[in-house]
Amino acid sequence: MSSYYTATRPGKKLVFTSLLTGLGGSFHFGYQITLTNPAQLALTSFVNRSYSDHYGVVLEKYQLDALWSFIIAILFAGGIIGSLILRFFADWLGRKKGLLVSFFGILVSSLLSICAFLIDSFEVYALSRFTMGISMCMGLGMSGLFLTECSPKACRGMIGMTTGIFVQLGLFTGSLIGMPDIFGRSDTWWMIYLAETLVVSVVMLLFTFFPESPCYLLFKGYEDSARDSVKLYYNCPDYLVDKNLKEIKENMQANMRNVNMIEVLKDPRTRRATLVGATTAFAMTFSGVAVINAFAVTILRDTGLSVFEASIANAGLSLLTLIGALFSASIIDKYGRRPLLLNTVFLIVIINILIFAFMRAYNVYQAPWIGYCLIFAISVFLVAFTVGPGPLCYFITSEMIVQHARSAGQSWAAFVQMSCRTLILVIYLPLSNAIGSDYSYLVLFVLPMAYCFVFFYYFLPETKNRNLLEVEEEIVNLPRLPFSRRQTYSTDEAQDQYDRRDLRQVF
């Protein structure tokens, strides 16, 4: 089988498309999950005042904490809905139009947040976070699909990492712009959302001029449009465009239909790829980053920092995650997905144990130097997270799964991430009040990550510069579980099996 034309570096148009896709999609995920952190005092004051005005009751602290946890978590409850409808929009409208729908939803949700401020309604604010969750999850999932399908496999990892990079850029921007000294005050927090409306409006306008992914166009039978798309995104000479298209079509069955989220679990190969992608999303969430994103300022204040100092430290930590994501993008296609994920997950397990120890020691001794050690441990954790599970969870599923099942597999990964984030944010504060923040951290983020490390060791194949058949060969040559029998495998055997099963090749 001949190979695709591959460039060692992506073309300028593909790079610009990936930047635009990240700015319209994954950027808002990072922005939304962190902006409530530095602006928490202003936002909880708004919620308490609005509740009192509407119902004539001033909330007690524990009641306000519970309501605020609900408002924080409802973003990811919307994300669960977004993950369930992602496949429908991705397959019905296509990747590009599906992204445009998600951009429009983000725009409407931001305007709702501004309206909540103007009419003093915490209910409208909660609604805006719910609709924002739906829209940003669709954008996050479809960004991974769109960029994977537009990228030559030699630079697929680098382009795929832009999704994670823009999540971290959104985290940094939200932590900075939400500071009390900028827009995170009771009278100016609405401007946080005004900035978001401006960004997404510009992205929507520019994104309309770019074509659909070539893979989706071929899947729908639009060969002429697919040819133009390959020429733009692959940055290949004219005489190689038809060669790429021919090879793509040779590995696609015309009668193959898209599968839904239930059917993707019935086939052993698509089920395995889906479970690996879902476990990566689980590891991303249960690493502890969900709590650090949502409550970092509170955690830092508990170490003795003032509100201003905690906000500055939080912005610094967010900048550190951005640097980590950029570093990961520079090495992902050199070292591969499997070693990066295994090494960083193992490091996160060790660091989470240290974070628990420092949190426990500070609660007992209240020594400032212990608090500084805790901040340093969190910094190391964030670097490990942004090099490994943070960005990889957004596109690893798309690299392992066939075209007709790709949107369903990506939906499962998004569903797991949003469900886990919702669960963690709902239970963390009540659990922390019941057994302490230190033991809460131990229970929630050490044991699950240890399980993920073992799972990845036995089930995660390398996907760097590999097509589906080569990934299958990697899978059967992974370390075997105790008492299991090793199976020999070859690419020719894989091809024969896939021909019999009428499955398509992944790019």
Amino acid 2: pLDDT: 42
431-440 average pLDDT score: 84
Amino acid 496: pLDDT: 46
Question: Which of 162-171, 293-302, 431-440, 441-450 is least confident?
Answer: 293-302
At 210-242, the pLDDT tens digits run 999 888 888 888 888 888 888 888 877 777 788
- How many CA atoms within 13 Å lie on the side-chain side of 7? 20
Comparing 177 with 436, the larger pLDDT belongs to 177
At 136-164, the pLDDT tens digits run 989 888 888 888 888 877 777 788 788 88
| Closest residue by Cα to residue 290 from 439, 128, 429 | 429
Question: Which of 82-91, 288-297, 382-391 is least confident?
Answer: 288-297
Instruction: Classify residue 9 by its DSSP letter.
Output: S
pLDDT tops 50 at residue 415: yes
User: What are the structural domain ranges in the chain?
Assistant: 12-210+253-501
Amino acid 255: pLDDT: 41
Length of the chain measured in residues: 507
Question: Which of 272-276, 303-307, 432-436 is least confident?
Answer: 303-307
What percentage of residues in the chain have a pLDDT greater than 90? 25
Quote the distance between the C-alpha of residue 486 and its chain's center: 34
What span, in angstroms and rounded, lies between the C-alpha atoms of 396 and 400? 7
pLDDT tops 60 at residue 502: no
Amino acid 408: pLDDT: 83
Q: Are 20 and 207 in contact (CB under 8 A)?
A: yes
| Closest residue by Cα to residue 300 from 313, 288, 287, 289 | 313
Per-residue 3-state assignment (H helix, E strand, C coil) for 304-365: CCCHHHHHHHHHHHHHHHHHHHHHHHHHHHHHCHHHHHHHHHHHHHHHHHHHHHHHHHHHHH
Amino acid 507: pLDDT: 35
Q: How many CB atoms lie within 10 A of CB 207?
A: 18
DSSP element (H, E) containing 455: helix 447-459
Amino acid 257: pLDDT: 62
Amino acid 113: pLDDT: 96
Amino acid 254: pLDDT: 42
pLDDT grade for 51, boundaries at 50, 70 and 90: very high
pLDDT tops 50 at residue 501: no
pLDDT mean across residues, the chain = 83
Amino acid 342: pLDDT: 92
Amino acid 5: pLDDT: 47
- How many CA atoms within 13 Å lie on the side-chain side of 487? 12
457-466 average pLDDT score: 82
Q: Which fold has domain 12-210+253-501?
A: Growth Hormone; Chain: A; (1.20.1250)
324-343 average pLDDT score: 83
What span, in angstroms and rounded, lies between the C-alpha atoms of 242 and 244? 5
Q: Are 353 and 446 in contact (CB under 8 A)?
A: yes
Instruction: Classify residue 106 by its DSSP letter.
Output: H
pLDDT tops 90 at residue 409: no
What span, in angstroms and rounded, lies between the C-alpha atoms of 202 and 196? 10
Amino acid 492: pLDDT: 47
Q: Are 44 and 68 in contact (CB under 8 A)?
A: yes
Query: Hey, is 236 helix, strand or coil?
Result: coil
pLDDT grade for 434, boundaries at 50, 70 and 90: confident
Comparing 263 with 465, the larger pLDDT belongs to 263
pTM of the model: 0.78
pLDDT tops 50 at residue 494: no
431-437 average pLDDT score: 83
At 471-492, the pLDDT tens digits run 777 777 788 777 665 554 444 4
At 249-269, the pLDDT tens digits run 765 554 456 677 888 888 887
Buried b (16+ CB within 10 A) or exposed e, 475-489: beebeeeeeeeeeee
pLDDT tops 60 at residue 275: yes
